[in-house]
């Protein structure tokens, strides 16, 4: 069952798009619109535009776009009904009773998963404090790891008994069905017997709590030699690993200056217990661009504190790159005499850790020190290798100022003049630029043929007709008089005139909504189209708005192209000669654009 159009419209009307998106993106006024760095892809130059009057957004970089509902779908990983519910709750609007929404293909709502997880968390916690059931877990947390009872309670830690049905039976008594428990990743299903069994067994349990206070998932550390050592919930209707950070629910309140990124649960808990409450960790997975964008919402500085072994340092290098792509000030913590923060604090104390924290190194310092440590600079061949690696490292930095600083810093360490190093860096950057331009050219050619178009794969059948369809849709989205002309038959256009299935669906939805009592309301298109499809729809509209000529002759010309394609038999692909001619035309425009920039 879905929400009524009137309710959805009320939710949109009650949502301040500037205030909503401003929680995720730093927006600055640019004419009638607002501009910021896109939260959905990594960029240094802002290309994310918000229109307060239209209550729509669009990114000129990754082409994400749509309404406030679309934004919440992408930002919070929700489907359309749950995004409406999210915004309704935020606006204080009571939900219609009949609109209990399902998510995904599980038939289980996010709200239901939250309820199950909360009940499971209470069960695990009760088991931990049960002297009979939780002795092993309490011995590990309190005895071996030295956590106080207050810290254990603060994080809501628990224990899953060494049983196949302890949690399952408890949840059954609370009224939850096997199908729901499996969807929430609290239970698995035996292939042999078909019976449900507890997903977490004989493990210390770490509840994962989102910034809103919902228990979204669990992590479990085993008490014996079973594998895996750490087990985490799989993705569910309420949880996606790449969009959650452990302890962010606490860290968000005190992380404006900086955050510490750790590898595991225990490092984070130890840091919080020692007073460093701005520490978080990813959930058994490497850092992702989604994680980086979460960090950028809360702070501008991240200090990476990973294990000192090779695996930890390789992970730190990846984290530096990903965090740097969203403009973060990234530092790396070097702990001498301990493998991780938990061990360091136990051995040297919180004050010593705080001193080391203040001495954290920039990403360049950390990487260059590791490079120099590998080689004997008194040996010519080693000195050349070290110089080449450091030059390659400097070449990665986009800012010319940063490159100059790092060249000056590296010159005495390598015993080479700055100009020599600078020439090598520039050669590397020119080579990278040529490779990038070649890649762009390949992508432009593929784009012309519409190869790899996930949104509208049918466009490859006839690129010229597909472009005409986009022109038609852009004009219909902007101008009511054109929709009226199509409706009255003054412009002969019907669904069967469209070559591509996606554009045909968009046309049908636009005209159906135009005929309805409320008229065309673009935000309601999200009921029928995915967030990525909404981005394409918004792109078509904006592309037309940016053109000076959007008169009736443009619409009629595009319609005629569709009619011609239909007469030719639009089920077939265009001829090779037509494709080559079209490709050359687009390539000429691409080369002209490059020439204009030089």
User: Which range is least confidently modeled, 349-358, 443-452, 478-487?
Assistant: 443-452
What is the C-alpha to C-alpha distance for residues 132 and 161, in angstroms, rounded to an integer?
Answer: 10
Please give the backbone phi and psi of residue 206, each rounded to the nearest 5 degrees, phi first. -115, 105
- Position 82 scores a pLDDT of 86
Per the prediction, the chain carries an average pLDDT of: 86
pLDDT tens column, 171-190: 999 999 999 999 999 999 88
Cα 409 to Cα 405: distance, rounded to the nearest angstrom? 6
- The pLDDT value recorded for residue 1 is 39
User: Cis omega before residue 501 (within 30°)?
Assistant: no
pLDDT of residue 594: 46
What pLDDT sits at residue 588? 58
Strand partners, 48: 36, 59
pLDDT in tens, 281-327: 998 778 887 788 888 878 889 999 988 777 888 888 888 888 887 77
As a whole number of angstroms, the distance between CA 442 and CA 440 comes to 5
- The predicted-structure confidence for 30-52, as pLDDT tens digits, reads as follows 887 899 999 888 887 889 999 88
Say whether pLDDT at 554 is over 70. Answer: yes
Backbone φ/ψ region at 483: left (φ over 0), alpha (ψ -120 to 50), beta: alpha
| Mean pLDDT of the 17-36 span | 89
Average pLDDT in the 218-243 region?
89
CB 339 within 8 A of CB 348: no
Q: What is the Cα–Cα distance from 340 to 347, expressed in whole angstroms?
A: 11
pLDDT digits (tens, 9 = 90+) for 238-289: 888 888 999 999 999 898 899 999 988 999 999 999 999 999 999 877 888 7
Lowest mean pLDDT among 21-30, 100-109, 117-126: 100-109
pLDDT band at 98 (very low <50, low <70, confident <90, very high): very low
SS3 of residue 216 by DSSP = strand
Alpha-carbon distance 67 to 156, whole Å? 37
Flag the least confident range among 4-8, 98-102, 235-239, 575-579: 98-102
Tell whether pTM > 0.85. Answer: no
Rounded Cα distance, 244 and 362, in Å: 25
Q: Taking residues 460-467, what's their average pLDDT?
A: 84
Q: Residue 442: pLDDT band by 50, 70, 90 thresholds? A: low
pLDDT (0 to 100) of residue 194:
86
- Total residues belonging to the chain: 598
- CA terminus-to-terminus distance, the chain: 56
- Residue 291, CA distances (Å) to 63, 240, 322, 326, 367 in order: 20, 11, 9, 10, 22
pLDDT tens digits, residue range 557-582? 999 999 988 877 644 444 545 555 55
pLDDT of residue 285: 75
Percent of the chain with pLDDT over 90: 50
Percent helix, strand, coil in the chain (nearest 5)? 55, 10, 35
What integer pLDDT is reported at residue 219 of this predicted model?
95
């Amino acid at each position: 069952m879905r929400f009524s159009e009137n309710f959805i419209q009320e939710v949109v009307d009650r949502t301040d798009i500037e205030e909503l998106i401003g929680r995720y993106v730093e927006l600055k006024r640019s004419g009638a619109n607002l501009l910021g760095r896109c939260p959905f892809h990594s960029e240094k130059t802002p290309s994310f535009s918000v229109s307060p009057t239209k209550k729509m957004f669009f990114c000129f970089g990754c082409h994400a776009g749509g309404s406030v509902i679309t934004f919440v779908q992408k930002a919070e990983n929700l489907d359309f009904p749950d995004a409406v519910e999210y915004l309704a709750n935020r606006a204080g609007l009571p939900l219609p009773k009949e609109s209990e929404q399902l998510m995904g293909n599980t038939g289980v709502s996010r709200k239901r998963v939250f309820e199950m997880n909360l009940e499971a968390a209470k069960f695990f916690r009760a088991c931990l404090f049960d002297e009979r059931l939780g002795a092993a877990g309490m011995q590990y947390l309190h005895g071996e790891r030295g956590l106080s009872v207050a810290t254990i309670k603060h994080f809501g830690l628990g224990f899953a008994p060494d049983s196949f049905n302890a949690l399952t039976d408890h949840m059954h008594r609370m009224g939850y069905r096997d199908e729901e428990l499996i969807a929430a990743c609290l239970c698995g299903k035996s292939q042999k017997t078909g019976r449900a069994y507890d997903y977490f067994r004989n493990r210390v349990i770490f509840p994962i709590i989102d910034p809103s206070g919902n228990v979204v998932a669990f992590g479990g550390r085993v008490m014996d030699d079973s594998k895996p050592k750490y087990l985490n919930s799989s993705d569910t209707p309420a949880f996606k690993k790449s969009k959650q950070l452990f302890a962010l629910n606490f860290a968000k309140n005190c992380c404006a200056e900086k955050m510490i990124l750790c590898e595991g649960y225990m490092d984070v808990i130890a840091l919080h217990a020692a007073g460093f409450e701005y520490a978080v960790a990813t959930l058994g997975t490497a850092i992702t661009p989604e994680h980086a964008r979460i960090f950028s919402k809360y702070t501008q500085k991240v200090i990476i504190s990973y294990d000192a072994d090779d695996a930890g340092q390789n992970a730190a290098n990846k984290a530096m790159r990903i965090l740097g792509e969203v403009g973060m000030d990234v530092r790396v913590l070097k702990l001498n005499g301990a493998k991780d923060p938990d061990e360091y604090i136990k051995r040297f104390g919180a004050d010593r850790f705080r001193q080391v924290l203040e001495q954290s190194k920039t990403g360049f310092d950390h990487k260059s020190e590791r490079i120099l440590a590998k080689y004997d600079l008194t040996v010519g061949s080693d000195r050349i290798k070290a110089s080449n690696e450091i030059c390659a490292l400097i070449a990665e930095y986009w800012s010319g100022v940063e490159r100059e600083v790092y060249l000056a810093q590296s010159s005495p360490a390598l015993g080479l003049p700055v100009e020599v190093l600078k020439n090598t860096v520039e050669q590397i950057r020119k080579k990278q630029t040529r490779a990038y331009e070649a890649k762009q050219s390949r992508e432009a050619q593929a784009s012309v043929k519409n190869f790899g178009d996930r949104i509208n794969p049918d466009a490859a059948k006839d690129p010229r007709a597909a472009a005409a369809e986009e022109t038609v849709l852009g004009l219909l989205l902007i101008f009511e008089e054109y929709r009226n002309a199509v409706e009255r038959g003054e412009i002969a256009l019907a669904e069967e005139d469209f070559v591509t299935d996606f554009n045909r669906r968009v046309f049908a939805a636009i005209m159906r909504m135009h005929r309805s009592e409320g008229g065309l309301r673009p935000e309601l298109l999200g009921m029928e189209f995915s967030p990525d499809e909404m981005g394409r729809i918004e792109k078509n509209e904006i592309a037309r708005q940016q053109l000076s000529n959007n008169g009736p002759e443009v619409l009629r010309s595009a319609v005629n192209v569709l009619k011609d394609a239909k007469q030719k038999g639009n089920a077939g692909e265009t001829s090779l000669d037509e494709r080559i001619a079209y490709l050359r035309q687009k390539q000429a425009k691409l080369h002209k654009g490059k020439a204009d920039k030089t």
